[in-house]
Amino acid sequence: MSIVTLLLASVLWQTGLPAARAAEEGAPLEIAGGTSTWISRHGSVLVLDRERDGVLQGYLINNSPGKGCRGLPYALHGRIIERTITFQVTWRNGVEDCPRQTEWRAEIRSLENGSFELHAEWEQFSTVIAIGLNHDEARRGKDLFTLQMSNEPPQSNGPEVSVIP
């Protein structure tokens, strides 16, 4: 778990400053590229790395109470077009395998305080084919992620990364 904590800490310090600077400079959100970190209302961590063409990569650490595959990063891939983000997570990472896949669709919304939220809907499917059994019903839900913005200067000499909200 300490590796995940170290990874999370190294990402969090980089993500808020460029977003705040881009917003102050009036940069359009739909063309900003880079890395951003979002925390859900249940404590899950979403790290998105966006290329200029809108392709997303990153990971999700599930911290929702009562759910499986918790506390470990799971890779994601997707796309962002203007203020809509879509991505998929297959809950398999070489350490733990939960035979499910989740598809997310989220809208980026600006807040009055200058921050941003992702209003997300998700649908989860089994990745196991059950022979002779009824179709596995998809699970659906909603979540809310808030962009993590930091006013603290970085404690490292790492490269500056621009941020999307």
Q: What is the CATH number of the domain that holds 77?
A: 2.40.128.30
Is 161 inside any structural domain? Answer: no
Task: Say how far apart CA 164 and CA 108 lie, in whole Å.
Answer: 10
Task: State which residues form the domain around 104.
Answer: 2-147
Is 159 inside any structural domain? Answer: no
The answer for residues whose C-beta is within 8 angstroms of residue 9's C-beta and 6 or more apart is: none
Name the residue with tokens 């705040």: 20
| Domain total in the chain | 1
pTM equals 0.69
2-53 tens-digit pLDDT: 444 334 444 443 444 344 444 444 433 443 568 999 999 999 999 999 988 8
CA atoms within a 13 Å half-sphere pointing along the CA-CB vector of 113 = 7
Q: Please state the φ and ψ torsions of residue 115, each to the nearest 5 degrees.
A: -90, -175
The DSSP code for 2 is H
